[in-house]
Amino acid sequence: MILNMRDNEIREEGREEGHKNGILETLVGLVKDKILDITEAARRANMTPEEFAKEAGLKL
When divided into structural domains, the chain yields a total of: 1
What b/e string do you get for 20-33 counting C-beta neighbours within 10 Å, with b at 16 or more?
A: eeeebeebbeebee
Q: For the segment 21-44, what is each residue's pLDDT rounded down to a tens digit?
A: 999 999 999 999 999 999 999 999
Average pLDDT over residues 40-54: 96
- Rounded distance between C-alpha atoms, residue 48 and residue 57, angstroms: 14
pTM of the shown model: 0.79
Q: What is the domain extent for residue 11? A: 2-56
Q: Report yes or no: 44 and 51 within 8 Å, Cβ to Cβ.
A: no
